[in-house]
C-alpha cells in the first residue's frame, strides 16, 4: 500500500462526519504539497478547501505529480492553487506530467478551480484529469493555460502542452471526453494558430444543483457574443502593460457554450482572450453563484 501511495504522490478523502464535510484522510509527498486552510469559506458553509502546491514554486522538467480525491456522498470540496502553475523549461526533452483522478459521490459537489498553467519557453507539459460521477453528482472544472511569461516577451514558445479531461457517469459510461494539444512540431505554429489571443480556457459545469448556474451562464455568454457581433469596436476593457497590443476590431474575449450528456446534464464553456485578467474577470463574474455551495466566490482572493 505504501508503494501505491508514493506513486500517487497525493490523496484526499472527504467524508461526512457529524453532519459536515471533513477531510478524513490525506497525504502528499514531494513535489506535491497539500494544505487545508479553514478560513477560506464562510463558517456557515459546509465545504472543504484544498490547495495543491509544488515545492520551488513550479513544476520542474520530468516531474510526475498525481493526486487522487474522493468526495463522499453529500459532501462539498473545492480544489485550487495559490498562484499560476509554472512549468519550467524542459531539460533533455523531458515532459512534466500531472494526473488528477477524482470520484464525486451522490449529491456531492467538487469544484476544481485552479489558476492557469503557464509554460516557460521550451517547456513540455501534459496533464490528465479523470472524474467519475453519478447522475446527481455536481462538478465544476476550470482548465486554462496562458501563452507564457508575458513580462519576458514569451508568447506560445513552449514545445508541448496537452490537457485531457474525461468524465465518466456511473462508473464507466463516457459523459465528456476532451483533449487539447498544442505542439511546436505541428504543421501550424502555435503563435499563428492563436493569432492575438494569449489565454485559452475551458469551464465545465455539470449536475442538478448547478442547473440554474448553467442556464444563466449560457444566456449571458449568448448576449455577450451577440453584443460583440453588433458592435465589435465597443470594447471598454483596459490593457495590461505586459500584454500585447490588440486589434480593436476583435473582441478582447470570445466565448461559446454547448451542452452534453443525457437531459443536458452538463455544459462546457470555451474561452479565448487577449489578457489573463479578462479571463479572471470572466470567471469571477460567472462563477460567483458557487459561493453558497463552497463558501466563497472563486477567484476573488487578493491578487487575482
pLDDT tens column, 136-170: 999 999 999 999 998 788 999 999 999 999 999 99
Please tell me the predicted confidence (pLDDT) of residue 230.
Answer: 60
Output the nine-digit C-alpha cell for 39.
478560513
212's enclosing H/E stretch is helix 211-230
| Sequence-distant (≥ 6) Cβ neighbours of residue 124 within 8 angstroms | 61, 90, 93, 94, 95, 96, 158, 159, 160
DSSP class of 89? P
Please tell me the predicted confidence (pLDDT) of residue 245.
Answer: 54
Please tell me the predicted confidence (pLDDT) of residue 1.
Answer: 44
**What's the pLDDT tens digit per position in 53-100?**
988 789 999 999 999 999 999 999 999 999 999 999 999 999 999 999
- Greatest Cα pair distance, the chain, in angstroms, is 60
Please tell me the predicted confidence (pLDDT) of residue 278.
Answer: 96
Distances (CA, A) of 79 to 5, 26, 181: 19, 13, 24
Please tell me the predicted confidence (pLDDT) of residue 247.
Answer: 59
DSSP class of 254? E
Please tell me the predicted confidence (pLDDT) of residue 229.
Answer: 64
DSSP-based three-state secondary structure for 71: strand
Q: Confirm if 59 and 86 have CB atoms less than 8 A apart.
A: yes
Please tell me the predicted confidence (pLDDT) of residue 235.
Answer: 46
Please tell me the predicted confidence (pLDDT) of residue 248.
Answer: 58
Please tell me the predicted confidence (pLDDT) of residue 208.
Answer: 98
Q: Confirm if 151 and 242 have CB atoms less than 8 A apart.
A: yes
Q: Residue-wise over 29-58: b if at least 16 C-beta within 10 A, else e?
A: eebbebeeeeebbeeebbbbbbbbbbeeeb
Output the nine-digit C-alpha cell for 241.
502593460
Distances (CA, A) of 215 to 84, 205, 218, 285: 29, 11, 5, 15
| Residue 163 bridge partners (DSSP) | 127, 180
The residue count of the chain comes to 304
- Please identify every stretch of the chain with a pLDDT value under 50, giving residue numbers as ranges: 1-6, 234-243, 302-303
Amino acid at each position: 500500500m505504501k508503494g501505491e501511495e508514493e506513486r500517487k504522490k497525493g490523496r484526499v478523502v472527504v467524508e461526512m462526519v457529524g453532519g459536515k464535510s471533513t477531510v478524513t484522510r490525506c497525504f502528499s509527498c514531494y513535489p506535491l504539497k497539500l494544505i487545508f486552510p479553514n478560513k477560506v469559506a464562510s463558517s456557515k458553509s459546509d465545504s472543504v478547501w484544498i490547495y495543491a502546491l509544488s515545492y520551488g514554486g513550479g513544476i520542474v522538467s520530468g516531474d510526475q505529480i498525481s493526486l487522487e480525491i474522493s468526495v463522499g456522498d453529500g459532501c462539498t470540496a473545492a480544489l485550487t492553487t495559490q498562484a499560476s502553475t509554472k512549468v519550467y523549461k524542459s531539460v533533455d526533452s523531458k515532459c512534466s506530467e500531472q494526473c488528477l483522478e477524482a470520484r464525486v459521490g451522490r449529491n456531492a459537489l467538487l469544484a476544481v478551480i485552479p489558476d492557469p498553467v503557464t509554460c516557460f519557453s521550451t517547456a513540455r507539459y501534459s496533464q490528465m484529469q479523470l472524474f467519475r460521477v453519478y447522475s446527481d453528482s455536481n462538478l465544476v472544472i476550470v482548465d486554462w493555460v496562458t501563452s507564457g511569461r508575458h513580462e519576458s516577451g514569451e508568447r506560445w514558445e513552449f514545445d508541448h502542452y496537452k490537457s485531457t479531461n474525461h468524465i465518466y457517469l456511473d462508473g464507466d459510461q463516457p459523459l465528456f471526453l476532451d483533449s487539447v494539444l498544442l505542439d511546436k512540431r505541428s504543421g501550424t505554429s502555435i503563435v499563428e494558430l492563436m493569432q492575438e489571443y494569449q489565454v485559452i480556457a475551458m469551464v465545465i459545469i455539470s449536475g442538478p444543483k448547478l442547473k440554474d448556474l448553467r442556464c444563466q451562464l449560457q444566456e449571458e455568454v449568448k448576449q455577450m457574443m451577440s453584443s460583440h457581433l453588433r458592435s465589435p469596436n465597443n470594447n471598454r476593457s483596459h490593457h495590461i502593460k505586459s500584454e500585447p497590443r490588440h486589434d480593436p476590431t476583435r473582441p478582447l474575449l470570445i466565448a461559446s457554450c454547448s451542452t452534453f450528456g443525457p437531459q443536458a446534464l452538463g455544459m462546457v464553456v470555451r474561452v479565448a482572450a487577449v489578457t489573463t485578467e479578462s479571463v479572471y474577470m470572466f470567471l469571477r463574474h460567472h462563477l460567483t453563484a458557487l459561493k453558497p455551495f463552497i463558501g466563497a466566490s472563486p477567484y476573488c482572493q487578493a491578487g487575482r
